[in-house]
Structure 1
């Protein structure tokens, strides 16, 4: 048995206001990016527990991602700009703007393009190698709340529980338009590593697993389940599920809620594998390293209840044992 007390540590020099995203490098499990309402993008070396790069932007940053290598990143936020960041020199290159805040950015190594989703109800495609970086603008029915990309599938979760799935090799039209089975506002969407579908979560303490294949056999596998609920004085209190992250090796996934809890789920066998002790504040973002050996956990108040006293923003890195995330066959 491993000692849980020694398998988790807190990152030094965390963001100071509302962490919006944490994400590991796709190739290096030492490197972790974080964006926040304090208008910074921060790059950490988690093995050394050291802040290596910090860039302050013109406004709160709502999302960030790595680019084609570990020296390049992108971000977007309240300033409405889509920005490329050189992590070696800390220099920024503004690619262009949305009409409203940029909620999500995702880079594709398949197309070498960046995809941004905004509250202006558009999805935009960018190529920073081109003199005119903006390549395409696609109108959407609703504001973008969350977005994820795996191989050629880009999943866009929007207001009114709407989801568009794009094949980025031919992005002119959505490959699928769907309405999630969840009944309330979506918070997070993440693609399954095996390419079969995605998970999405809502403000009403539920997670749904959905599959691209529309055959009756595949659709029979989809389901939603309750999570992040607690009995308080004989009343069930329901919390938003703010964050999801799939394990890249085992295909299990983590969920994080406004109940300050993180759970690991086996979606195939429909059971919870592990629940970790509660964190100081709400879980705002989760990310596994590319090898699945680390889980980054952003403990940061998400303003569900407006202004209130809350714990300082913190990022924890947890070393994952096989028993924490491997499906249980029994």
Structure 2
């Protein structure tokens, strides 16, 4: 069922979005941006945004009512930071990266402590809870996934996976781990030390991102080949699985340039989702109606990571070099910035569902 959405090039004015209301975050990182995370439980309705980057830092910004961002605090690592996530309560921030460790920042005190360690760089860190106990899960290039109870320096559990962890996401009890060689592991966090299901990605090339549905019934996969897959966890829903092409240039002389899908984010209210890629565009999609809701013009550089805030009223996207064209594609003038896109009422609302269960 590939290609149901058709080309990602906008063909009708009602599906073409605009960027004129987007606001640039001040005091951005000084190197490529690897991850974004909003606090899921805004205190006093305040939004905080964590920005992880290759300059060895995670910066926390308060998003002000006028859309501007104000730097509040930062975490220092000894090497590039690849991943960041908030606690459910919004009081702490997790970060992890190439220095093989994960840290926890207490936003009330500004103090950061090491809470995890691996034998190789940590590609991803995510927060979750077991019976109300705060936990972290880390996925590393040492081919392991580890669970951490913050009361102990030793991992609460370790799962060996097939290869280096390239992507990981958590939603409720669903943990999805994408590794090198296109393996996808599904783990039920109620039984965290056992892999519930393993599959190879339905996409033909390297996995770049995995993102869990808001209802935790499945996940989306993005790859370097300009393609996205929608995958349900349970076999009974397998008829709903499909893949589609996106982030591809219109064919010219029988040649189509394809771009990596770097980021997939699900809208917290509507359950629709975004894709963003090396081509410098982002799009909003409805997986149930199999329809593209909006596409947006090129933002002037690769989009490396994205995130919605708690209410889905803000869509943050980072523009920075993603190394998709190797060393020669980078230069000192390449933009490195975070943009905040105010989500309009109709941009992410789903279409009437055509799904049959």
1:16–1:312 Cα contact (<8 Å) kept:
no
Deviation at 1:80, TM superposition (A): 0.4
Deviation at 1:56, TM superposition (A): 2.0
* CA 213–232 in structure 1, closer or farther in 2 if over 3 Å, else same: closer
* CA 316–112 in structure 1, closer or farther in 2 if over 3 Å, else same: same
Match of 1:201 among 222, 241, 251: 222
SS at match of 1:324: coil
Deviation at 1:4, TM superposition (A): 4.8
1:95 & 1:78 partners in 2: Cα distance? 15
How far does the alpha carbon of each residue in 1:181-223 deviate from its partner, in whole angstroms, 9 at most, with x for none?
A: 11100000000001210000000000000001202xx111100
2:338 & 2:300 partners in 1: Cα distance? 10
SS at match of 2:181: helix
Report the counterpart of residue 154 of structure 1 in structure 2: 175
Matched length: 326
The two structures, once aligned, show a CA RMSD in angstroms of 1.7
1:14 & 1:233 partners in 2: Cα distance? 36
Q: Which moved more, 1:111-120 or 1:199-208?
A: 111-120
Task: Indicate the structure whose relative CO is greater, using CA pairs within 8 Å and at least 6 residues apart.
Answer: 2
What are structure 1's unaligned runs of at least 5 residues?
A: none
Structure 1 residues 1-330: aligned runs within 5 Å: 4=18, 7-28=21-42, 30-47=47-64, 48-110=68-130, 111-130=133-152, 132-215=153-236, 218-231=237-250, 233-234=252-253, 235-307=255-327, 308-309=330-331, 310-329=333-352
TM-score, structure 2 length as denominator? 0.87
1:279 & 1:267 partners in 2: Cα distance? 24
1:85 & 1:5 partners in 2: Cα distance? 33
Deviation at 1:96, TM superposition (A): 3.4
1:93 & 1:263 partners in 2: Cα distance? 37
Deviation at 1:291, TM superposition (A): 0.9
SS at match of 1:7: coil
SS at match of 2:346: helix
What are structure 2's unaligned runs of at least 5 residues?
A: 1-13
2:18–2:296 Cα contact (<8 Å) kept:
no
SS at match of 1:21: strand
Q: Which moved more, 1:65-74 or 1:40-49?
A: 65-74
* CA 261–5 in structure 1, closer or farther in 2 if over 3 Å, else same: closer
Deviation at 1:91, TM superposition (A): 2.0
Report the counterpart of residue 3 of structure 2 in structure 1: none
Deviation at 1:68, TM superposition (A): 4.7
How far does the alpha carbon of each residue in 1:97-123 deviate from its partner, in whole angstroms, 9 at most, with x for none?
A: 100000000001344110000000000
1:297 & 1:179 partners in 2: Cα distance? 29
How far does the alpha carbon of each residue in 1:279-303 deviate from its partner, in whole angstroms, 9 at most, with x for none?
A: 1210100101111111010111111
TM-score, structure 1 length as denominator? 0.94
1:27 & 1:86 partners in 2: Cα distance? 15
Structure with a larger share of its residues in strand: 1
1:139 & 1:171 partners in 2: Cα distance? 12
